[in-house]
Amino acid sequence: MDNATEVTAHVEAPPRLSVVVPVYNEMECLPELHVRLGRVMDAIGAPWELVFVDDGSRDRSLEVMRELRRADNRVAVVSLSRNFGKEIATTAGLDHACGDAVIIIDADLEDPPEVIPSLVEAWRGGYDMVFAQRRQRRSDAWIKRVTAAMFYWLMRDLGEVSLPPNAGDFRLLSRRCVDALLQLRERHRFMKGLFAWIGFPAIAVPYDRMPRHAGRSKWPARKLFGLAVEGITSFSIMPLRLASYLGLVVAALAILFAAQLVFRAIVFGNPVAGYPSLMAVILFLGSVQLLTLGVIGEYLGRTFNETKGRPLYLVQGFAASAMRAADRASPAPVAATRPD
C-alpha cells in the first residue's frame, strides 16, 4: 500500500548564544570588551548576539554602545530610562536575550571573556547552569575576604538556598533556566540567590579574576553591605527569628536582674540605686528595641514596595540585534511529505 505521510521538516540548527552585559559608566571598557568577546564567540562557531543594557549611565557609555552596534549588527542595545541598579539591569538583559543559552558578564573585564568557551562546553555536556568560580581572593583586601566569608556562611546556614562561594554573576544559563528566572518578578532582586533558588543541574568552572580594565569600581563598601542585607532578607526570615530570640534573652536577663534587686532590698535595705547602672540598663534595652524595630522595618519596607506592583524597569530605547530581527522575520515551519 502506497501512502504518503505528512511530516514536519525539522532542520537541526546550531544552538544560539546571547551575551548580556549590564553597563553603568563603563565607556573606557566597552571597545575592548567588544573586541575580546567577538574573538571568543566567533571561535565557538555558533550564532550569537551581544546585549548591552545601559543602566542610566552618566558618561558616554550609551553613545559608545550605539557606535558598536552600527559597526556590528550582532550587538543589541537596551537603554533604561534611569539607573535601576545592576540586578534589575541584568534582568532587563535576560528579558531581551533570545539565545538558547545566555551568558552574563560584567563590562569591566575583571571576568575574562576567554572563560566563556569552558562555560559553553559544560553546558553542552548537559548542565543548565554553569557558573564561574574564583580560585582565590588574594587580590581582595583582608576585610573584604573576611566579610565575604561571613556572608556566604550566613547564607548557607541561615538562608533558604546555599550560595556557591566565590561565584558572582558571571555564568551561563540555559533557556529553561532563563525562562524560570524571568517568572520571578520581585522588585528586591538578589540575582545570586535567584540563580540558586531556581535549581536545575549546575556546575562550577574555576577561573582567575583579572584586574579592572579601566575606570573605578561601582561597588563601594556601602553598596556591598546593602547587597548583603538584600540577599539575607530576600531568602531568609532568620533575622526576625533572631530578633525574637534576642528579646527572650533580654527578658530573661531582666528577670534575673529584677530578682537580685529584690533580694538585695530585702537583705541590705533599699538604698538609692546608682545612676550608671540604671543608664546602662536603659541604653541596653533601648538599643535592643531599636534593633528589633529595624529588622521588622526591613521586611515591612520590602512588603510595601512589592505591593505597589510597579514594573521592574522602563525602557527608553531598544535596538535589536540581527539575530532577534531574524527571529521576527522567520516564517512558520513548512510541512514536507515523504513516501511511506
* pLDDT tens digits, one per residue of 208-239: 887 666 656 555 555 555 655 665 666 566 66
| pLDDT reported for residue 28 | 87
Residues 76 and 99 occupy one common structural domain:
yes
The C-alpha R_g of the chain, in whole angstroms, comes to 27
Q: Which residue has the cell 558571571?
A: 170
Which residue, 13, 16, 192, is CA-closest to 102? 16
Domain contains 231: no
Percent of the chain with pLDDT over 70: 62
Same domain, 85 and 68: yes
pLDDT digits (tens, 9 = 90+) for 87-141: 889 999 999 988 899 999 988 888 889 999 999 999 988 899 998 888 876 656 5
**Residue with the three cell numbers 539575530:** 323
CA 94 – CA 105 distance, rounded (Å): 12
Q: What distance in Å separates the CA atoms of residue 124 and residue 322, rounded to the nearest whole number?
A: 24
What integer is the mean pLDDT of 284-313?
Answer: 73
| Domain limits for position 287 | 238-307
Q: With respect to residue 260, please indicate whether it lies within any of the assigned structural domains.
A: yes
> Based on the domain organization, do 281 and 325 belong to the same domain?
no
CA distance 194 to 180: 10
Query: Is the pLDDT score of 335 beyond 60?
Result: no
In a domain, 76, yes or no: yes
Residues 42 and 101 in one domain: yes
> Each residue of 35-88: pLDDT tens digit?
999 899 988 888 999 999 998 888 888 999 999 999 888 999 999 988 888 888
Same-domain status, 260 and 134? no
Residues 188 and 67 in one domain: yes
Q: Is position 233 within any domain? A: no
In the chain, the amino acid numbered 3 is N
Mean pLDDT, the chain, whole residue set: 76
Tally of domains in the chain: 2
